[in-house]
Amino acid sequence: MWDSMGTPYLTCPSDIESYVGNLTSYYVGNSNESLVVATSVAMFLLAVGFFTLTILGHASHVSSVLSPSARILLSGAVSLFPPVMSYLFSDAKSASECMATTEDEYSLAVLTGGAGDLELSPRARLILIWMLLVELLRKKVQAVKMVTKGPQRYIDIVTNAGTVFWLGYLVFFNIKGAGRVAMFGFLWLFCAIKLLQRIFFAEMMKRSLAYDKNARLVNSYMDDYNMMQPLGNNVSLKTCEYVVMGEEKLVLEAGPRGYTLDLDKVDEVITVGKIWRLAEDDHRRGVPLVLSSNEHRCPKRLCFSFALFKLLRRRIEHLPGAMSVEETAHCRDLIFQGLCEDEVAAAPLLFQVLRDEVDFLSEYYHSVHPVALATPFFFFVNYLLVFLVFCVLCVMITVLSGKGSVRFAIRSIKTDNYVLSLGVFRLVGCLVVTIIKTRSHSSSAAFFATIDVLISGLLFVSFLLEQLWEFMVFLLSKWFMVSLLCTYAGNPTRWRHCSTFRWFVRIIWWVSAKLGVQNPSSSSNTITLKQLSLLGCPCWFSALLPAEYLRNQAKRSIFQRFRQVAYNSQDNPISKGRRVLELERHHGYLHLAGSSDSNSVAEVILTWHIATEILDTTTTVVSAGVNHLQDDKQKQEQHRVMATSLSRYCAYLVAVYPELLPDHRYGTKSVYKKMKKDLRGALGLPYYYFSSKRCRCRKLMVAPADINAAKSTVVVLQKGILLGKALVEQAEAGDKELGSIWEMLADIWVELIVYVAPSGSEEHVKGHEEALVQGGELVTMLWALATHTGVTRPAAPFVAAGGLRTVHVEDEGIFPAA
C-alpha cells in the first residue's frame, strides 16, 4: 500500500474524506444510529447471500430451479426489505441535511431553488440504489409458473407492481441532477421491464394451449387418436404418435367433453414416431446426425421424455379420464419393449428418460427462469428485441433528464455520480487507505462507508451474473433443445443441409452434456439418493445429508422387477418383502418374513433399515478375514452397497417425505417419532448424540429385551434389533455366507422401493408435485414409470376399526404374521 518513503502508491482525491463524511453524516447524532448500523450489517449479509447463491448455487449443475431452503430464506428477507428500507429512506431524507460537496457540484444550483428542490443526502440515495438492485434480484426467488389458481396467482405480481411504482415515485420525484436521474432511471426502467415480462409470462402461459391448457388438449388428443388408430397395434417408437409439439394446431373449438380436434392436420404435429423415423432417414442418407448423435447421448430420446412429460401432466393436474387402461397397456409396451430393446443398456437408458421427464416437470412448475417458453422465436423477442427496446428507452430517459441536451446529460452521468467519476476499485482502495491512516471516528466512518460501497457492488455484480446465468440456462435448457429438434423435424428438407443449424444444435448439446444438463444415459451419476442412517449421527437438516449415486446394478434390478410386475402382476405381485423371502434362492430366510407383515410400510422400512445398519456395522470386521474368490467378494460388495444405499434412501423418505409413501403422512410421522423416542430412550442422551454408529449398534445389541420392557408388544426398534441380531448371528455362525445375506437384503430393498412407488390418491400425487421443487426424487421417477405402465399395489386387506391384532414377542418365529 505504501512505498519505503511512506507515500501511498494509490493516488486518492482530496475530497475522499468529504465523501465519507457526507455518506456517514446520518450516523452522527442520530437516535436511530444502532438501527442504521444493524441495517447495514443485515444488508451486507443479504448481498453476500445473493452473491454466494449466484456464484456457488449453480456450480455443480446448470439448473433453473432454486433450492427450497435458499428460496425460503431469501424470500423472507426480500419480503421484509421494502417496508424497512422505505422507512429508513424517509428517515434519511427528512433528518439529513442536503450538503453541497465537491462530489456534487450540480446540487449547488438546485439548492437555491427552495426546499422542494433540495437534493437527497448520499445516504438516502444509497438506500434507494439498494432498493432498486434488490427488486431486480427478486425474480431469483420467485417461480415463473405459479401453481396456484385464481386470484392467488396474481398476488405476487400485484405486490411487485406496487413496489416498482413506489420506486419510480422515489426516483423521479426525489432525485435531482441530470446524471443521477439518468442512472437511477436506467435501474428503475429495468425493474419495470422485468415486471412487464413477468406479467406477460403469466398471461401467456395461462391462456396458451401449449402451456396451462395443454394437459386438457393432450387428453383430448389421446382420446380422439385412440379411436382412429388403436394404440395397441404396434409397440415400435417409429409408429408412436405421442405428441411432442404442435398439437395446438389441431384445435377447432372447446366442447363439453374437451377440445374438438381436426385430425386431418395431424401430419403438422411433431410426434415421437416422426422424430424416430426422421432420425433413421438421416442415418440412411448419411446426413451428419442431429437427432441421434451416438448410442448413449441421443437427443431423440429427449423428445420421448418430453412426450411422456405431457402425458403425466394430466395426472398431476387431476384430469378425469387420464391414463386409460388401453393407454397404459400401450405405453407399457413402448417403454419395456420399444425403448428397452437392448437388455444390456435398457436400465440406464430408461432411468435417463425418466430423469429427463421429471426434470421437465420440475422446471415447468418451479423454474425461476422462463425455460418452459424456450423457443427460437421467444429467444429473439425476450433477449434481443426487449434489449433493443430497453436501449431506446434509456436514450429517452437520458434526453429527458438533460432537458433536451444530450451532451450535457451524458457528461453529467459521470460528473454527478461520484463513484463513476472516481471508479469503484479506486474508491474502495482509497477508503481502505483512509481506514488505515486515520483514527477513531474518521476510521470508523470510512469503515462503514467501505461496507456500504461493498454492499452496492455485491448486489450489482450479483444482478449482472444472474442475467448472464439466465441467458445461459435458457440456451442450454432441455426445452430449447426440444424446440430446436422439433423445428428441424417440422421442415427437414430446409434444415438438413444447413451446416450452421446442425453445428449449432450439436454444440449446444455438447456444452449442456459437459455442464450436466444432458447427462449420458450410461453415466452413473445421473441420479443421486439422499442417505439417512437412523443409527448414525442425528442430522437436523435434510440439505446436509450425504448423497449416493444410484448404481447401474440397482437400476437393472429395479427395472427387471418393474417389468416383471407390469406383465405378471397377478402371479407375482409386489409386496413389502415377503415375496422375496419366499423365493427358492432365499428360502432359508423364510422365518424372517414376519418382519414384512406389518400394515404400515413405514414400520417395515424402519425395521429392515435398523437390521441392515446393524449388519453393515457389525459384520465389517467379521468378513474381513474370510478368503473369498475375487468375483464373490465383488458381488458381495455390490449387493451390500445396493442394500445400504436403498435402505438409507427409504429411511430418508420416511423422515423427510412421508407424503410420498403409501401410508397416510401423519401415520408415517407418528411411526417415525415413536421410533426416534424409543431409540433415544434405549441409547441414552450421551450415546444418542455423541457416540459413533458402531458404539450405538454395540449398545443396542447387548440387551434388546430391556428396551421398552414394560410393554408386551414389539415396537419397531425392538423388531429391527432382533432382526439385525438374527442376521449377524447367521453370518457369524456360518449358517449362511455373508454374500447370500446381502443378496437377500438387496432384493428386499428393491422390492420395497418398487412397492412404495405406485400412488393413486390425490394426496400422494400432490406430494410428488411438491417434491419436484427439489429437482425430483427417485421415488417420483418410479411413480411416473408406474403411472405410465399401469403398475399398482395389491389392494390392502380391510381391517375394521378396533380390529387390529396385537403382536407379541412370544408368538412363533422371529416375527409373527400381522
Could you report the per-residue pLDDT of 473-487, keeping only the tens digit for each? Answer: 889 889 999 999 999
Mean pLDDT of 405-425: 80
Mean pLDDT of 268-274: 92
Whole-number percent of the chain with pLDDT over 90: 27
Closest CA to 679 of 653, 651, 707: 707
- Most trustworthy range by pLDDT among 15-19, 314-318, 526-530, 642-646: 642-646
Q: Which of 14-18, 78-82, 623-627, 667-671 has the lowest mean pLDDT?
A: 623-627
Greatest Cα pair distance, the chain, in angstroms, is 100
Mean pLDDT of 61-84: 70
Give me the pLDDT at residue 479, please: 93
Give me the pLDDT at residue 186, please: 93
Answer yes or no: is pLDDT of 108 > 70: no
Closest CA to 671 of 704, 724, 716, 712: 716
Looking at per-residue pLDDT, the higher value among 57 and 224 belongs to 224
Place of cell 456464484: 55
Mean pLDDT (the chain, rounded): 80
Give me the pLDDT at residue 233, please: 55
Give me the pLDDT at residue 116, please: 41
Give me the pLDDT at residue 785, please: 95
Strands 243-245 and 270-271 turn out to be antiparallel
Answer yes or no: is pLDDT of 333 > 80: yes
Q: Contact 804/599 with Cβ under 8 angstroms?
A: yes
Q: Contact 119/110 with Cβ under 8 angstroms?
A: yes
Answer yes or no: is pLDDT of 112 > 70: no
Interatomic CA distance for residues 135 and 620, integer angstroms: 55
Q: Where are the domains of the chain?
A: 16-207+376-476, 209-366+492-526, 534-539+567-758
Interatomic CA distance for residues 288 and 155, integer angstroms: 50
Give me the pLDDT at residue 145, please: 63
Question: What would the grid cell of residue 361 be?
Answer: 416437470
Interatomic CA distance for residues 212 and 47, integer angstroms: 35
275 confidence band (pLDDT: 50, 70, 90): very high
Give me the pLDDT at residue 750, please: 96
Cα radius of gyration rounded to whole Å, the chain: 32
105 confidence band (pLDDT: 50, 70, 90): very low
Q: Which of 91-100, 437-446, 752-761 has the lowest mean pLDDT?
A: 91-100
Interatomic CA distance for residues 435 and 446, integer angstroms: 6
* DSSP-based three-state secondary structure for 528: strand
Q: How far is CA 746 from the centre of its chain?
A: 29
Answer yes or no: is pLDDT of 341 > 50: yes
Mean pLDDT of 149-166: 78
- Give the count of beta carbons closer than 10 Å to the beta carbon of residue 267: 8
Answer yes or no: is pLDDT of 294 > 60: no
Taken in order 533, 535, 541, 545, the sign of the CA dihedral is negative
Helices marked H in 691-761 — which ranges? 693-702, 716-733, 738-756
Give me the pLDDT at residue 412, please: 85
SS (H, E, C) 163-181: HHHHHHHHHHHHCCCHHHH
Question: What would the grid cell of residue 491 be?
Answer: 421442415
Answer yes or no: is pLDDT of 4 > 80: no
Answer yes or no: is pLDDT of 3 > 50: no
Structure confidence by residue, pLDDT tens digits, 729-766: 888 877 567 888 999 999 999 999 999 999 878 888 88
Mean pLDDT of 557-571: 88
DSSP per-residue codes, 4-51: TTS-BSS---TTHHHHHHHHHGGGTT-TTHHHHHHHHHHHHHHHHHHH
Contacts of residue 773, defined as CB under 8 A and 6 or more positions apart, other chains included, come to 65, 68, 362, 365, 366
Looking at per-residue pLDDT, the higher value among 263 and 29 belongs to 263
Question: Residue type for 567, please?
Answer: Y
Looking at per-residue pLDDT, the higher value among 233 and 465 belongs to 465
Helices marked H in 600-684 — which ranges? 601-624, 630-656, 665-683
- Most trustworthy range by pLDDT among 1-15, 90-104, 336-350, 743-757: 743-757
Answer yes or no: is pLDDT of 621 > 50: no
Structure confidence by residue, pLDDT tens digits, 505-516: 888 888 877 775
Q: Which of 108-117, 212-221, 541-550 has the lowest mean pLDDT?
A: 108-117
230 confidence band (pLDDT: 50, 70, 90): low
Helices marked H in 138-248 — which ranges? 155-174, 178-207, 214-228
- DSSP 8-state secondary structure symbol assigned to residue 793: P
Give me the pLDDT at residue 623, please: 46
Mean pLDDT of 313-325: 86
Give me the pLDDT at residue 420, please: 79
Mean pLDDT of 776-798: 86
Interatomic CA distance for residues 288 and 521, integer angstroms: 21
Interatomic CA distance for residues 219 and 315, integer angstroms: 10
